[in-house]
Amino acid sequence: MVIDAAVDLGALTARVRRHIVRMVYTAKSGHIGGSMSSAEILAVLYGRIMKHDPANPAWEDRDRFIMSKGHATPVQYATLAEFGYFPTSELDTFRQKGTRLQGHSVLGKPGGVENSAGSLGMGLSFGLGIRLGMRLRGQDNHVYVLMGDGEQQEGQVWEAAMAAAHHEVDRLVAIVDRNRVQNDDFVENTMRPQPIDEKYRAFGWEVRSGLDGHDLAQVEEGLAWARDVRGKPAVVIFETIKGKGVSFMEDNPAFHGAPPSDEQFAQAMQELGA
Amino acid sequence: MTTASQSQTTNQSQAPAATREALGPALVRLQNAGHDIVVVDADLGKSTTSRAFKDAFPERFFTFGIAEQNMISAAGGLATLGYTVFATTFAVFAEHAFDQLRMSIAQPRLNVKIVASHGGVSTGEDGASAQSIEDIALFASLPTFSVVVPADVVEAEAAIESAVHTHGPWYIRTGRPKIPVVYSDGPRFQLGKADKLREGTDVTLVACGLMVDRSLRAAEALDRIGISARVLNMATIRPLDVDALEAAARETGAIVVAEEHLSHTGLGGMAAQALATRHPVPMEFVGVPDRYGESGTWSEVLEIMGLTSEGVYEAARRAVSRKA
């Protein structure tokens, strides 16, 4: 199935952002910033682009979403819950003893999580393997891999980029959430990956860049374009804002991996319309 | 007694062969038998012999170039579709992708078999960089992995077949040099089970890989001086056959562990830990000392490291002398 096109993704992403902040606040740990920057990307993937069935996460004919930036589990879990993979009430267990919702993605926990991640740079390779296997089976499903822009510093990303182009793998879509902030500092101050688009082009990929990753229409346009590329792998680079939606978190490296205080939580939830 | 450099077999009917030679033919045979195998390779298919699979099933063989990290993570992705994935390279280059092994295969417990050739120091002339003396430690440190070091080409093929029939991540270490065939009457491999190759009452020689044949010859020499040595082929390092170790300790009272790997992080260390809780007895270890290797013929390097039948023989005498 493809999710009902009538789903209001604007309202959904607003709820997802509130889930993200509440999960990290409740757990007293977790990654808000890079979750907030990916909210629209995941919403459009699950709401408009991917073939998937929340009632049957193991459906053989599904498209795959690979979370390579595996620290951004708050947005992944919140989106899966909003689309009905599991009850939103379970989000309260995030990072706590006995939970299925570990701090970083674990394959199969819950159903709908397609890979284990947390060490950066591996998702594109994992997705490449899935797509190669699908092609061998004659399956025309897609694999979507979400990475960060800081993650482009990992050498393995470029091993995978080279191999995907060499094997002429299509229906493999890389998505870069370019929020320009990593753990310690801004990406540009840490290890400059730019120009990301020219690098992928040089590796033999079809590339779209410069799209606003918080504009649902632009996100859908970019992902639909990438879905339809044939003969080559495709990458879409979305310009995003780390911590998007909460004024004091936006563009602030301090909210890569730190929880909000009580006061910050109250203000954040107010800004997010709770 | 015979020395390592004169390592001709005394009782084998088959010509010496390298354990790596088992891989290609086994994969082709198993795929022809109806399994759903794919192979990923990092530019060493000729050396590991996996190339034979490419010739037979080109669409099922994926080259990744000299990029082991990508290959290992992609192997995990392939396995999610239900394939039995074989990833082949040299043992030292499998070490290169340790975190990928951990995240993309071990943690999600995916059905990927790493068959790495050129294990141990018997790679020889290529020197220290090509000699894996840490691989068993690394793979045995990964929960969910089975770790196997076959004693000869016959057992290597049996281990590969067993891996195809057993879901989950495996590491199988094969070797470059042509070594004597221990199982000329056919394989007896069972994952997690030691194979008693020789009965004995005074000491047990526990070995894996090419040290199995050398331990058998040490046992013959020990017999000539009145020491009765049991020989256990401990081809499976993980899950370790602790029951066989305990029985050996109880029944023979002394243990020697012989392997082509650092002792303290290899079979030796693991066997000692197991026996410490079950039935401690005097133990001696024949393994790579705490150092890296050097160039030389494969048998010369083994001699430099003390990995000879004489080394096992002397260790057994020490172990026996320490018995109360």
Q: What are the pLDDT digits (tens) for A36-79?
A: 999 999 999 999 999 999 999 999 999 999 999 999 999 999 99
Q: Nearest chain A Cα to B59, which residue?
A: A136
Is A181 in contact with A253 (CB distance < 8 Å)?
A: yes
CB spacing of A115 vs B108 below 8 angstroms: yes
Alpha carbon distance A141, B77 (integer Å): 14
Same domain membership, residue B216 and residue B127: no
Q: What percent of chain A has pLDDT over 90?
A: 95
Q: Is residue B167 part of a domain?
A: yes
Number of folded domains that form chain B? 2
Q: Is residue B81 part of a domain?
A: yes
Q: Nearest chain B Cα to A139, which residue?
A: B81
CB spacing of B77 vs A163 below 8 angstroms: no
pLDDT digits (tens, 9 = 90+) for A165-205: 999 999 999 999 999 999 999 999 999 999 999 999 999 99
Alpha carbon distance B291, B132 (integer Å): 12
Q: Nearest chain A Cα to B98, which residue?
A: A119
Q: Is residue B168 part of a domain?
A: yes
Q: Is residue B220 part of a domain?
A: yes
Q: Which of B125, B141, B173 is the last residue of a domain?
A: B173
Same domain membership, residue B238 and residue B209: yes
Q: Is residue B169 part of a domain?
A: yes
B237 has pLDDT over 50: yes
User: Residue B269, SS3?
Assistant: helix
pLDDT average, residue stretch B24-36: 98
CB spacing of B108 vs A107 below 8 angstroms: yes
Q: Is residue B1 part of a domain?
A: no
DSSP B229: E
Q: What percent of chain B has pLDDT over 90?
A: 95
Same domain membership, residue B96 and residue B212: no
| Domain carrying residue B105 | 19-173
CB of B84 less than 8 A from some CB of A = no
Alpha carbon distance B53, B281 (integer Å): 46
Q: Nearest chain B Cα to A61, which residue?
A: B81
Query: Cβ neighbours of residue B126 under 8 Å, at least 6 residues apart?
Result: B295
CB of B269 less than 8 A from some CB of A = no
A164 has pLDDT over 70: yes
Residue B10 confidence (pLDDT): 45
With cut-offs at 50, 70 and 90, classify the pLDDT of residue B171: very high
B142 has pLDDT over 90: yes
Residue A2 confidence (pLDDT): 55
- The enclosing domain of B124 has a CATH number of 3.40.50.970
Among residues B68, B134, B155, B310, which one is catalytic?
Answer: B68
| Whether residue B95 lies in the annotated active site | no
Residue B3 confidence (pLDDT): 39
Same domain membership, residue B155 and residue B23: yes
B293 has pLDDT over 50: yes
CB of A57 less than 8 A from some CB of B = no
Alpha carbon distance A219, A146 (integer Å): 13
Chain A CB contacts of B74 below 8 Å: 125-126, 128-129, 132, 160, 163
Complex prediction ipTM:
0.97
- The enclosing domain of B208 has a CATH number of 3.40.50.920
pLDDT average, residue stretch B142-146: 98
B11 has pLDDT over 90: no
Same domain membership, residue B282 and residue B163: no
Q: Is residue B3 part of a domain?
A: no
Same domain membership, residue B272 and residue B199: yes
CB spacing of A136 vs B76 below 8 angstroms: no
B58 has pLDDT over 70: yes
Residue A231 confidence (pLDDT): 97
Same domain membership, residue B204 and residue B149: no
Can you give the pTM of this predicted structure? 0.96
B7 has pLDDT over 50: no
Q: Which of B145, B173, B201 is the last residue of a domain?
A: B173
B233 has pLDDT over 90: yes
Q: How far apart are the first and last CA of chain A?
A: 31
Same domain membership, residue B215 and residue B86: no
Residue A1 confidence (pLDDT): 57
A270 has pLDDT over 80: yes
Taking only residues 30 to 49 of chain B, the set having a beta carbon closer than 8 angstroms to any beta carbon of chain A reads: 38, 40
B8 has pLDDT over 50: no
Taking only residues 135 to 194 of chain A, the set having a beta carbon closer than 8 angstroms to any beta carbon of chain B reads: 136-137, 155-156, 159-160, 162-163, 166-167
User: Residue A65, SS3?
Assistant: strand
Same domain membership, residue B139 and residue B59: yes
Fold of A9-271: Rossmann fold (3.40.50)
Query: Could you tell me which residues are beta bridge partners of residue A14?
Result: none
Same domain membership, residue B266 and residue B233: yes
pLDDT digits (tens, 9 = 90+) for A135-146: 999 999 999 999
Q: Which of B115, B146, B173 is the last residue of a domain?
A: B173
Chain A CB contacts of B38 below 8 Å: 133, 136
Residue A3 confidence (pLDDT): 58
With cut-offs at 50, 70 and 90, classify the pLDDT of residue B5: very low
pLDDT average, residue stretch A83-95: 98
Residue A4 confidence (pLDDT): 62
Residue B139 confidence (pLDDT): 98
Which residue in B210, B211, B133, B142 sits closest to B171, CA to CA?
A: B142
DSSP B29: H
With cut-offs at 50, 70 and 90, classify the pLDDT of residue B136: very high
Q: Given CA atoms A8, A14, A17, A22 in this order, what sign does their dihedral have?
A: negative
Q: Is residue B41 part of a domain?
A: yes
Same domain membership, residue B91 and residue B207: no
Same domain membership, residue B148 and residue B60: yes
Identify the H or E element spanning B144.
none
Amino acid identity, position B10: T
Q: How far apart are the first and last CA of chain B?
A: 28
